[in-house]
Amino acid sequence: MNPRSSDITPRALAEGRRDALRRMLSGTGALALGSLPSLGAAQALAPTPKPGKLAPLPAKSSAVPGALAMDKLTAYKDASGYNNFYEFGTDKSDPAANAHTLKTTPWTVDIEGLVKKPGRWALEDLLALSPMEERIYRLRCVEGWSMVIPWVGYSLAELIKRVEPLGSAKYVEFVTLADPKTMPFVGSRVLDWPYAEGLRMDEAMHPLTLLAFGMYGEILPNQNGAPLRLVVPWKYGFKSAKSIVKIRFSERQPATAWNKAAPQEYGFYSNVNPEVAHPRWSQATERRLGEDGVFGKKRKTLMFNGYEAQVGQLYAGMDLKKLY
């Protein structure tokens, strides 16, 4: 039986309500309301338990609308053991096996191009630039699987505002480290190295676009893109560049790794879109790892990965079938 459309709470409203609820339960809003939430609900929404593997990275729950998905979290062992990070091998288990060689300290990020304040940022300064927030995002891989991950970081916009882009800056490019000494598969012919990704300026400035330094309350494991990475939850996972060493502002749309490798399969935008199939497979459904059982049916993929209320207006009037 389908509910009548009049019975459905508009998504924005529902999400705002959920965000408020989650914030309240996680402590930031509880005092203002002057009431304690029931114990059961509090436990269900308790702060993410830390896996205890890496250094903790404390954060408060994010207040950005849509930043706290209510989906069940993916197990840490799956999120840190099943990765696409081709610099460490193309098999999903390769990054976890090989990424221990990555040296994340010292680490710097170069800000280049059309900004008033270009320069080299040390990781410590980036960590201190803005308060850390926990955000629970759905992650949809272009291959047809998905996870739900509690990231720690802050909106990329915080950094962008600090470096003062010029009016001519229309795009932001993100460049991943490509060090053949520590990344054994840099040099393989799968992709052009270094791995580069890009966003339009308004996408980069969107509050949901996250500069992440941690996950599950701890610093990022190397295989997940330590020490800092991008997370753009409404785009396919490969748009979220890992282990970033350079952020460049430009007037022209930057060339991106997968677009260069197979332009007919991977567009610049690569927004999650169940209506636009990959040339070789449908994108209408996805398997939520750890939740949709081995023999279970896949779940329907949501437009913009369920972030349509927050980001849909960025693409108003665009033909998303052409600009995939």
Partner 1 sequence: MFLASVHRAIGARFAKPCVFALALLPLAYWLTALFNDALGANPAEALLRGTGLWTLRMLCVLLLVSPLREAMGWTHLARMRRMLGLFVFFYALVHFCAYVWLDQSGQWDDILVDIPKRPFILVGLLALLLLLPLALTSFNAAIRWMGAARWRSLHRAVYGIALLAVLHFFWMRAGKRDFDQVALYAAFIGVLLVWRLRRRFSR
Residues near partner 1, by CB under 8 A: 75, 77-79, 81-82, 86, 90, 92-93, 145, 189-190, 261, 277, 279-282, 285, 287, 289-290, 294-298
Q: Beta strand 171-176 with 244-250: parallel, antiparallel or unpaired?
A: antiparallel
Least Cβ distance, residue 224 to partner 1 (angstroms): 13
Nearer Cβ to partner 1, position 141 or 160?
A: 141
Least Cβ distance, residue 185 to partner 1 (angstroms): 10
Least Cβ distance, residue 273 to partner 1 (angstroms): 16
Nearer Cβ to partner 1, position 127 or 190?
A: 190
Strand partners, 44: none
Nearer Cβ to partner 1, position 101 or 285?
A: 285
Least Cβ distance, residue 226 to partner 1 (angstroms): 19
The tokens of 42 are what?
């509090």
Least Cβ distance, residue 201 to partner 1 (angstroms): 31
Report the alpha-carbon distance of residue 187 to residue 126 in Å, rounded: 29
Report the alpha-carbon distance of residue 148 to residue 133 in Å, rounded: 16
Least Cβ distance, residue 241 to partner 1 (angstroms): 18
Nearer Cβ to partner 1, position 125 or 275?
A: 275
Nearer Cβ to partner 1, position 43 or 282?
A: 282
Angular region, 64: left φ>0, alpha ψ -120 to 50, beta rest: beta
The tokens of 295 are what?
């023999």
Report the alpha-carbon distance of residue 209 to residue 202 in Å, rounded: 10
Report the alpha-carbon distance of residue 324 to residue 270 in Å, rounded: 5
Contact predicate 66/309, CB 8 Å: yes
For residue 242, what are the CA distances in angstroms to 116, 201, 276? 25, 19, 26
Nearer Cβ to partner 1, position 166 or 262?
A: 262
Report the alpha-carbon distance of residue 135 to residue 152 in Å, rounded: 6
